[in-house]
Chain A
Amino acid sequence: QRFRFCGDLDCPDWVLAEISTLAKISSVKLKLICAQVLRDLLGEAIEYDKILKLTSDAKLESGDVKATIAVLGFILSSAAKHNVDSESLSSELQQLGLPKAEHASGLCRSYEEKQSSLQDRLRACSLRLSQLGSVHWRVDYTLSSSELQEVNEPVVHLTFNVRDRECEKMTAVPVTLSANKFRVLLA
C-alpha cells in the first residue's frame, strides 16, 4: 500500500513494527518526545535524558527508546521532505495503526507547527559542494615595469572567499586580471 509521507512508496517494515511501540507511550508524553525529536532535526541538541525519563513509565528498553526516536524522526522528516500536509499525515498514520484520538492528532499538530522550519532546514542541508562567501576587489594602476618603461594599465585584483561545506573553512582564491580580461569576464 502506498503512502504519501513515504514518497508514494510502501512504508518500510521497521516503521510498521515500531508503530505499536509508539502506541504504548501516552499521548502527552509522545508529544513531548516529538518536540525533542524536532529539536534534533532542526539542528539543536537533543536532550536524551528527558526522553529516557518520559519513556520510563512505559517501561521501554533502551533499544525501544532508540527505535522510538528513529521512527519519529523518520515520520517527521519524510513528511516534510514530501510536503505532506498534517491531515493527510494524520489519516495515513491512523491507517498504519496509530490510535487517532490523541496520538496521531498530537503528532500532527507538532508537525504542523514546525513544518516550514523543518523544510527550510532540510533545504539548507541539501548537498552543496562549495559556497561563495564574499568577494573583495582592488584596482591598481601599473605605471611602469622592468619590461616597459611606460605601462599605464589598470589591473584588477579579485579575492573569492569560498566556503567548503565539509570543513567549514574559508579558502581564498586570488585572481589578477588585466582591464580587457575583466571586461570579458563581466560581459
Chain B
Amino acid sequence: MLLVLSAEHRAHLGCLPRAGGAAVGELGRLALEQLRRGAAPRACETAARKLNIGVDTIQHGVEGLVYLLTESSKLMISEVDFQDSIHVLGFSDELNKSLLQLYLDNRKEIRSILGELAPRLPSYHSLEWRLDVQLASRSLRQQSKPAVTMKLHLNQNDDQTAQVLQTDPATLLHLIQQLEQALGEMKMNHCRRIVRNMK
C-alpha cells in the first residue's frame, strides 16, 4: 500500500536534502518529541539557529516528518512500500535509508501513541458499596427494609465522575444474574467461532 504525498507535503519535506545528514537526525528527533509531547516551538528555534535554516522551514520540515511517520505507522506499511512512497520525493539513497530507519525504529511507539487517541467511553475505576437496613421512618415505625447503596467511580479522559445507585438485594441479585448470563455468552459456540477467527 503506497502513501500518496500531497504537493504541499512534498514541499515541506523538500527542505530535508538541503539541510544535510546531521540535520535530518535532528529533525527526526524533534518530530518524535512532537509526537510524544506536542509542539515545542522553542526547540524548533534552537534547531533553526544551530543549522542556520529559517524557523519556518524547520517547522514545516518537522511537521512534514511527523505526518509522514504517523501515516506510515497508522497503515503499518512495509519497508518496500515506504521506500517506494518516498522515492517520489527524489531524495538521495542515504536520506531514504535514514528515513526508513527512523520509521522502522519508532513505528511501534508511534502506534501505541496513536492507539491512545481513540475516543473513549467512561471506564470503570472503582465501586464503593454499603448495605443498610431501614428500621423506621417518619411515616412507619418498626420496619426492616434492606438496601444496597453503591457509588460507581468512572474515568473518562482523566476526568473522574461518580454515580450513586441504590437498590434492594433482590434487584441486585437479578442484576448479577443478568451480567453472568452476558459473560456466559462468551462460552457459546457462536462467540467461540468468532474469537477463533479473529486470532
Is A bound to B? yes
A126 and B129 CA atoms in complex are apart in Å by: 8
Contacting residues of chain A (69-122) with chain B, CB-CB under 8 angstroms = none
CB-nearest residue of chain A to B127:
A127
Size class of the contact patch on chain A: under 10
Query: Chain B contacts of A129 at CB under 8 A?
Result: 149, 151, 164
B43 interface contact, C-beta 8 A:
no
Does B162 contact A127, Cβ atoms closer than 8 Å? Answer: no
Q: What is the CA–CA distance of A127 and B165 in the complex, to the nearest angstrom? A: 12
Q: Output the nearest chain B residue to A126 by Cβ-Cβ distance.
A: B130
Which interface residue of A126, A127, A129, A166 has the most chain B CB atoms within 10 A?
A: A127
- The answer for the CA separation of A126 and B149 in the assembled complex, in Å, is 11
Nearest Cβ distance between residue A155 and chain B, in whole angstroms?
A: 24
Which of chain B's residues have a CB closer than 8 A to the CB of A126?
128, 130
Secondary structure of the B contact surface, majority rule = strand
Query: A129 to B130, alpha carbons, bound, how many Å?
Result: 11
- Encoded as 1 (CB less than 8 Å from any B CB) or 0, chain A from 43 to 58 comes to 0000000000000000
Q: Which of B130, B149, B150, B162 interacts with A166 by CB under 8 Å?
A: B162
What is the CA–CA distance of A166 and B128 in the complex, to the nearest angstrom? 13
Closest to B166 in A: A129
Nearest residue, chain A, Cβ from B149: A127
Q: How far is the CB of B59 from chain A (nearest CB, A)?
A: 39
Contact digits for A119-155, partner B, Cβ 8 Å, 1 yes 0 no:
0000000110100000000000000000000000000
B125: min CB distance to chain A, Å? 13
Q: What are the residues of chain A within 8 A of B130 when measuring CB–CB?
A: 126-127
Q: Most chain-A CB neighbours within 10 Å: which of B129, B150, B151, B164?
A: B151
Chain B residues with CB under 8 Å of A127's CB are: 128-130, 149-151
- B129: chain A residues at CB < 8 Å are 127
Q: Whole-angstrom distance between the alpha carbons of A129 and B147 in the complex?
A: 14
Within 8 A of B (CB), among A139-178: 166
Residues in A whose Cβ lies below 8 Å from that of B149: 127, 129
A152 to chain B, nearest CB (A): 31
In the assembly, what is the distance between CA of A129 and CA of B151, in Å? 9
Alpha-carbon distance A126/B131, docked complex (angstroms): 11
The smallest beta-carbon distance between B138 and chain A, in angstroms, is 10
Q: With A and B bound together, what is the CA distance between A129 and B164 in angstroms?
A: 8
Please measure, in the bound complex, the distance between the C-alpha atom of A126 and the C-alpha atom of B130, giving whole angstroms.
7
Contacts of A166 in B (CB 8 A): 162
B32 to chain A, nearest CB (A): 25
Complexed CA–CA distance, A107 and B150 (Å): 33
> Across the two chains, which residue of chain A brings its CB closest to B128?
A127
Query: In chain B, what residue has the closest Cβ to A166?
Result: B162
Q: How far is the CA of A23 from the CA of B78 in the complex (A)?
A: 49
Give the Cβ gap from A41 to chain B, nearest Cβ, in Å. Answer: 16
CA distance A127 to B126 in the complex (A): 12
Listed from nearest, the 3 A-B pairs whose CB atoms lie closest are A127-B130, A127-B128, A127-B151
User: Which B residues lie at the A interface, using CB under 8 A?
Assistant: 128-130, 149-151, 162, 164
Listed A/B pairs (12) with beta-carbon separation below 8 Å:
A126-B128, A126-B130, A127-B128, A127-B129, A127-B130, A127-B149, A127-B150, A127-B151, A129-B149, A129-B151, A129-B164, A166-B162
Given contacts A126-B128, A127-B128, A129-B149, 9 further A-B contacts (CB under 8 A): A126-B130, A127-B129, A127-B130, A127-B149, A127-B150, A127-B151, A129-B151, A129-B164, A166-B162
